Structure 1
């Protein structure tokens, strides 16, 4: 949902940044890689130590690279297979780092096994959401449906985590993760049913 409504806005916002980076000789692949490294470091260096707000701020500073690299690629006329593949693959690293960092903290210093298990479940279901779409495209079908796309899951998780880092009770993050878990499971089911309908029509 956020992908549809926010893409145009952030494209306008980050176009000057993308233009500047291209003038400096920095390519979109470099921005993709640096952005992913920043997200991974922010999640795994700060979340496991309970520094949730700092981790969210670092991640947020780098997560917009996912938009900037796309703008840069379009400016260069390089919207090809490699860029899309690199971007999608590295997104999985960033997402995994965020939920793994939360799981580590709540298994250890945070001392909340339920929260840790919810974070791990969101990591797994989030990967399945992405896989369901990628596998559909791999067999020549589409699965562009679902109530919990990547942007939705990421924003909800980071906002809730940041608020907990500011002192809001942990129960907020627990509720958000539980809702994301349910929404992700529904999204996987939606994508599977969509692919099934397409496959049966093709028979």
Structure 2
């Protein structure tokens, strides 16, 4: 759903990408710094329940996910390794975000929400794995109601709203929705691959 906004994001971040390239910064360096920033922010703020500051810090570093791609295209340095690195580090950032929320609920002793957060973490990784495995077999599995960008936006909106003082219930609802949507997406992708394999 959010992929339609990619061209807008490209126009917005092109000036930043141009400046970084002139300074000699590589796209891979931006990818790595962005991932480290997301992971550190999520694992520092979220377990402590500091959702507002955690979300704001994460959003700043998440922009690097767009900037590095713009830099690679403008510099002509797009490569298979760059794409591999970007995709792999995205998984680390996502795991840190949901891992931070898992720790938040675990430290509070909320077993149900700890399990829900764990389910979202595992299912989110599985959504990506199913697609990658399908593509490795020469098929496609880019279907589903909960792609990475959609999951990321939903949870960050929820943590931001919770951070404004509206309570953890917003985050809890978002996690339940993501658990269900991620499970459905995994099933949709498995069925899509099955159709192609048997077709």
Tell me the TM-score normalized by structure 2: 0.97
> Could you say which residue in structure 2 is the equivalent of 1:100?
99
Residue 192 of structure 2 is aligned to residue 182 of structure 1:
no
For structure 2, list consecutive stretches of 5 or more residues without a partner in the other structure.
none
Instruction: Tell me the equivalent position of 1:30.
Output: 29
Q: Distance in 1 between matches of 2:184 and 2:92?
A: 23
Residues 47-106 of structure 1 show CA distances to partners (whole Å, capped at 9, x for unaligned) of 112211111111001001000000011112222211110000000100000011111111
Counterparts of residues 29-178 of structure 1 (less than 5 Å): 29-108=28-107, 110-178=108-176
**How far 1:21 moved relative to its partner?**
0.3
Q: Match of 1:166, SS?
A: helix
Give the aligned partner of residue 2 of structure 1. Answer: 2
Gaps of 5+ in 1: none
Aligned residues: 199
Give, in angstroms, the shift of residue 7 of structure 1.
Answer: 0.5
| Deviation larger for 15-24 or 162-171 | 162-171
Structure 1: 4+ residue segments shifted above 6 A? none
CA RMSD of aligned residues (A): 1.0
* TM, length-normalised to structure 1: 0.95
- Deviation, 1:171, is 1.6
Distance 2:194 2:114 in 1: 34
Higher mean alpha-carbon deviation, 184-193 vs 34-43, is at 184-193
Q: Distance in 2 between matches of 1:119 and 1:58?
A: 21
